[in-house]
């Protein structure tokens, strides 16, 4: 039995991108369609067992609202890892994520591990599958398929975010807190990058 390595992790990102939902999925494997906004910050812990070590994440889930912005340094100052979340259907949330990354790279600890997370993948996945399908049938019979009923469309392509993450030295993931796709991977990949004690 190994003693867990404690790792402080902070979540940052615009309000309503799904920070608390990603944490809720990771910690309790649960999702709430109407999640109440976080006030100030919430604290949760969860362990991540790897083959050679156990990481205990001490998670600070911050509020995204502008009026809480001045509190953020308190949470990221001695964090070993940061998860910066945006909503893949919102380009303003991606801009906001980039500004958090910049701030972290200037102000947080120099060896902080940063993961960029594009959340709400479920909102676009259905319509993207549909588009592929429409491409396939387009030359065959235009009238065979009705328009997809999805109202959400992707604002930030996976390629654009991936390229930005690479040039900025970030881990990168797309997730859905709703379906749980990709969520555990975020924390597992961060855990793998934590140096042994």
CA-to-CA separations, 118 to 74, 144, 190, in angstroms, rounded: 24, 33, 16
In angstroms, what is the minimal distance from the CB of 78 to ligand GDP? 22
Q: Does 38 bind Mg ion (CB under 5 A)?
A: yes
Site residue total, Mg ion (CB under 5 A): 3
Q: Which segments of 88-154 are extended strands (E)?
A: 113-119
- Could you tell me which of 110, 79, 85 has the C-alpha nearest to residue 161? 85
Q: Does 43 bind ligand GDP (CB under 6 A)?
A: no
Q: Does 175 bind Mg ion (CB under 5 A)?
A: no
Q: Does 8 bind ligand GDP (CB under 6 A)?
A: no
Token pair belonging to 47 = 């362990």
Q: Does 33 bind ligand GDP (CB under 6 A)?
A: yes
Task: Tell me if 134 sits within 8 A of 142, measured CB to CB.
Answer: no
Rounded CA separation 66/60 (Å): 17
Q: Does 123 bind ligand GDP (CB under 6 A)?
A: yes
User: Which residues share a beta bridge with 57?
Assistant: 7, 46
In angstroms, what is the minimal distance from the CB of 96 to ligand GDP? 11
Q: Which of 6, 29, 37, 169 binds ligand GDP (CB under 6 A)?
A: 37
Q: Which segments of the chain are extended strands (E)?
A: 5-12, 41-49, 54-62, 81-87, 113-119, 171-174
Q: Does 18 bind ligand GDP (CB under 6 A)?
A: yes
Q: Does 21 bind Mg ion (CB under 5 A)?
A: no
**38 vs 89 by CB, closer to Mg ion:** 38
In angstroms, what is the minimal distance from the CB of 61 to Mg ion? 6
Interface residue list for ligand GDP (CB under 6 A)? 13, 15-21, 32-35, 37-38, 64, 119-120, 122-123, 176-178
């Amino acid at each position: 039995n190994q003693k867990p390595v404690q790792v402080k992790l902070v979540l940052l990102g615009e309000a309503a991108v799904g920070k608390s939902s990603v944490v809720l999925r990771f910690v309790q494997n649960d999702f709430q369609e109407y999640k109440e906004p976080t006030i100030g910050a919430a604290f949760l812990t969860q362990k991540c067992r790897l083959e050679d070590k156990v990481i205990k994440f001490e998670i600070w889930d911050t509020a995204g609202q502008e009026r809480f912005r001045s509190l953020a340094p308190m949470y990221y100052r001695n964090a070993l890892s940061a998860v910066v979340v945006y909503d893949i259907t919102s380009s303003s949330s991606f801009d906001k994520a980039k500004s958090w990354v910049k701030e972290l790279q200037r102000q947080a600890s120099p060896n902080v591990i940063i993961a960029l997370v594009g959340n709400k993948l479920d909102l676009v996945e259905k319509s993207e599958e549909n588009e592929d399908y429409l491409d396939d049938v387009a030359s065959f019979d235009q009238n065979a398929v009705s328009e997809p009923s999805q109202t959400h469309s992707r604002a930030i392509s996976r390629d654009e975010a991936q390229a930005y993450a690479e040039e900025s030295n970030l881990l990168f993931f797309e997730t859905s807190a709703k379906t749980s796709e990709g969520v555990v991977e975020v924390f597992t990949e961060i855990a793998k990058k934590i140096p042994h004690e």
